[in-house]
Amino acid sequence: MDEFSSSQTDGRRLPPLGALRAFEAAGRRLSFQRAAEELGVTPTAISHQIRQLEEQLGLSLFERKPRKVALTEAGLALLPALTRGFDEMSTAIDALRRKPVRKVATLSATVAFTAKLLAPRAARFRELNPGWDLRLHASDDPVDLAGGEADAAIRYGLGSGGGLTRRPLMTDRFAPVASPRLSLTRPDDLANHALIHFDWRVGAGATVPTWTKWVEAAGLPLADPRAGATFNDETSAILAAAAGQGVALLSLELVAAELGSGVLVQPFGPVLEGWRYDFVFPETAGERPAVLALRRWIEAEFVSGPEVEGHGRRRSDFAVGTGSG
């Protein structure tokens, strides 16, 4: 192992960086004293580093004269390359320091809510929050907000657990929807078409809008309102209905874009009320910048913002103030 091994990387055989810095500063200023002031060390330390460098190179880099030094031919050859190298390193580091750090706000919501209501509105988040990036976390399983899996969430249904602030966003509504190609005009027409269902991921004993409940509300005699095609998620049920595969009992909030564009129609009622969507975040996080950025966006989109791709405005009790819901 030679004297340069401590600085050897990928085939580069270089003396210690400290020695090179000491020589470059002293050579540029032609003064050990001024080099010491620049690097924040003593002139003795500069002299020691340069002496070690000369010993490792087997060359004299300075002619030492009373009260002054001068570069030797070897020193004159080495100095420009080192100065360029240190200048380039300094420029690169300064650029990194000036580069703004991107801030990220993470919002969690169900897969269907994320796909149908949040993704089409994502661009507005950055318009309202310059310097911020949005991360959408789509999951039908609640994330651990206290543990930092997300900054905030849009929760649907029964309570969100303790330690969370809840802001009511909107109440869901369900009604039969189908492709206009099916030409549905009255509830009796359902007997001629397949019913589309999806699995509700809820706790035991929870009451959810189902075809059985809708048939009861409509007073419609259907042989078996549980028959038909069943999907394990709401998004797939929406796609099946849009493809004309049958009639689905769906959230009017989630299919607002399809209803607005005519891809789906709501031919008749009754309309069943579902659960409420809440914007939730940890009680201690109400003033965190990420939470405030998300609240600013959600308020603009779901309370006072313009319609987006067929989504109609909704009455909402969403509030921007602080406190627990």
pLDDT in tens, 221-278: 876 888 889 998 899 999 999 999 999 999 999 999 999 999 999 999 999 998 889 9
Structural domain includes residue 229 = yes
Q: 288 with 200, same domain?
A: yes
Residues contacting residue 238 through CB under 8 Å, at least 6 positions apart: 112, 116, 248, 250, 254, 255, 258, 264
* pLDDT band at 202; cut points 50, 70, 90: low
Q: 296 with 229, same domain?
A: yes
Structural domain includes residue 325 = no
Structural domain includes residue 119 = yes
The boundaries of the domain holding residue 257 are: 104-304
* pLDDT band at 324; cut points 50, 70, 90: very low
Q: 64 with 118, same domain?
A: no
64-77 average pLDDT score: 90
Structural domain includes residue 198 = yes
203-231 average pLDDT score: 80
- Between CA 3 and CA 270 the distance in angstroms is 87
* pLDDT band at 315; cut points 50, 70, 90: very low
Greater pLDDT, 325 or 125 = 125
Q: 125 with 69, same domain?
A: no
Residues 256 and 159 sit within 8 Å (Cβ to Cβ)? no
Q: For position 11, which CATH number holds?
A: 1.10.10.10
Q: Dig out the tokens for 180 from the structure.
A: 């206009």
Q: 50 with 108, same domain?
A: no
Convert the pLDDT of each residue in 72-128 to its tens digit.
Answer: 999 999 999 999 999 999 988 888 777 667 799 999 999 999 999 999 999 999 999
Structural domain includes residue 151 = yes
Q: 144 with 24, same domain?
A: no
Q: 160 with 270, same domain?
A: yes
Residue 201: φ, ψ to 5°? -95, 85
- Between CA 274 and CA 292 the distance in angstroms is 28
Q: How many domains does the chain have?
A: 2
Structural domain includes residue 154 = yes
Structural domain includes residue 55 = yes
Q: For position 236, which CATH number holds?
A: 3.40.190.290
- Between CA 242 and CA 147 the distance in angstroms is 39
